[in-house]
Amino acid sequence: MDAVEAAIRLMEDNPLFNAGKGAVFTYDGKNELDASIMDGSNMKAGSVAGVRSVRHPISLARAVMEHSPHVMLIGEGAEAFARERDVEFAAPEYFHTEERWRQLQDALAGEAQGELQARGYFGTVGAVALDASGHLAAATSTGGMTGKRWGRVGDSPIIGAGTYANARCAVSCTGHGEFYIRACAAHAICMGVTELHQSLADAAEQVINREIPQLGGSGGAIALCADGTFAMPFNTEGMYRGWIDADDGCHVRIWRDD
Ligand code: ASP
């Protein structure tokens, strides 16, 4: 849990990713942040959606799990809870980046020409980890989708959709959230492993590269099993991904054929 939270916090601070600073903009020009975390060893989970002034939404999600009787808090209520905890706040302007602002202007121009709103520009961040005791954890953080409206919540803060972990499997997803919610994507991959006895690679491939594209969605996932096997399927042009193992250190990949 410490490792996935730490990894996500770094990426939330990095403006290159669509989480924390550098999050995409809503239709109204705001940053509304979603995050979730799950402990596979006890299946406890916490999540937040639509927060606007918390620097590390992932840490707030963990606080919800550890210090509230609830799993998911949204908007002003989540921020009221954050004020009761030792959670760092940031002014709404902190999250602003010019690149994301330009992407919103492009999306608004596209909408004016009749294109669908809520564009991709994926870049949600996720982390899964396996510790020396064989326990798994998963976490996801995002600004959602550019041009999202009306308090839209994607898959990332929904336990079972964007994030899931149990004793055998941990998953974090990225992609067009509406499809990931409908497919219960992260949970479906874990159930493929634990109930259908599929290999992790087969279960992840089935959900990410078959079921969701059949519904019309695109994206990817990172998935890790208690035996140390992992899968990182995606059907976008690339997916920034990396892993570290006990024996041979750090690996980073971007495109499909890397
Ligand atoms: N899944 C996220 C959402 O729909 C977006 C992303 O993965 O970039 O909110």
Q: Is the minimum distance from the CB of 175 to ligand 1 under 6 angstroms? A: yes
Please state whether the predicted TM-score (pTM) of the whole model is above 0.85. yes
Does residue 122 have a pLDDT over 90? no
- Alpha-carbon gap, residue 180 to 63, rounded angstroms: 25
* Contact present, 155 and 72 (Cβ < 8 Å): no
* Contact present, 169 and 176 (Cβ < 8 Å): no
- What is the model's pLDDT at position 248? 73
Compute φ and ψ for 173, nearest 5 degrees.
-110, 155
Q: Is the minimum distance from the CB of 50 to ligand 1 under 6 angstroms? A: no
- What is the model's pLDDT at position 110? 86
Q: Is the minimum distance from the CB of 140 to ligand 1 under 6 angstroms? A: no
- What is the model's pLDDT at position 123? 86
Write down the residue that tokens 């492993």 correspond to.
193
Confidence of residue 121 (pLDDT cuts 50, 70, 90): low
- What is the position in ligand 1's atom list of the atom closest to the CA of 122? 8
- What is the position in ligand 1's atom list of the atom closest to the CA of 153? 9
For residue 16, what are the CA distances in angstroms to 96, 121, 130, 213?
12, 11, 26, 26
Does residue 50 have a pLDDT over 90? yes
- Residues 39-68 have a mean pLDDT of 98
The fraction of the chain above a pLDDT of 90, given in percent, is 91
- Alpha-carbon gap, residue 53 to 58, rounded angstroms: 13
Ligand 1: distance of its center to the CA of 149 in Å? 14
* Contact present, 7 and 138 (Cβ < 8 Å): no
Residues 6+ apart with CB under 8 A from 34: 47, 48, 49, 50, 51, 57, 141, 142, 143, 144, 153, 154, 156, 157
Q: Where are the beta strands (DSSP E) in the chain?
A: 33-39, 44-51, 72-74, 125-130, 136-142, 163-165, 169-175, 219-225, 230-231, 238-245, 249-255
Q: Is the minimum distance from the CB of 123 to ligand 1 under 6 angstroms? A: yes
- What is the position in ligand 1's atom list of the atom closest to the CA of 34? 9
The two beta strands, 44-51 and 230-231, are unpaired
Instruction: Please list the active-site residues.
Output: 124
Which protein residue's CA is at the shortest distance from atom 9 of ligand 1? 144
Q: Is the minimum distance from the CB of 32 to ligand 1 under 6 angstroms? A: no
Write down the residue that tokens 């803060």 correspond to.
157
Ligand 1: distance of its center to the CA of 204 in Å? 17
Confidence of residue 247 (pLDDT cuts 50, 70, 90): confident
The fraction of the chain above a pLDDT of 70, given in percent, is 97
- Alpha-carbon gap, residue 106 to 84, rounded angstroms: 39
- Alpha-carbon gap, residue 140 to 180, rounded angstroms: 13
Compute φ and ψ for 14, nearest 5 degrees.
-95, 120
Which protein residue's CA is at the shortest distance from atom 7 of ligand 1? 174
User: Mind listing the pLDDT tens digit for each residue in 147-204?
Assistant: 999 999 999 999 999 999 999 999 999 999 999 999 999 999 999 999 999 999 999 9
- What is the position in ligand 1's atom list of the atom closest to the CA of 124? 8
User: Mind listing the pLDDT tens digit for each residue in 204-237?
Assistant: 999 999 999 999 999 999 999 999 999 999 999 9
Choose the residue to mutate in 34, 125, 145 for probing ligand 1, maximizing ligand atoms within 8 Å of C-beta: 145
Kind and range of the H or E element at 78? helix 75-84
* Contact present, 224 and 167 (Cβ < 8 Å): no
Which protein residue's CA is at the shortest distance from atom 8 of ligand 1? 122
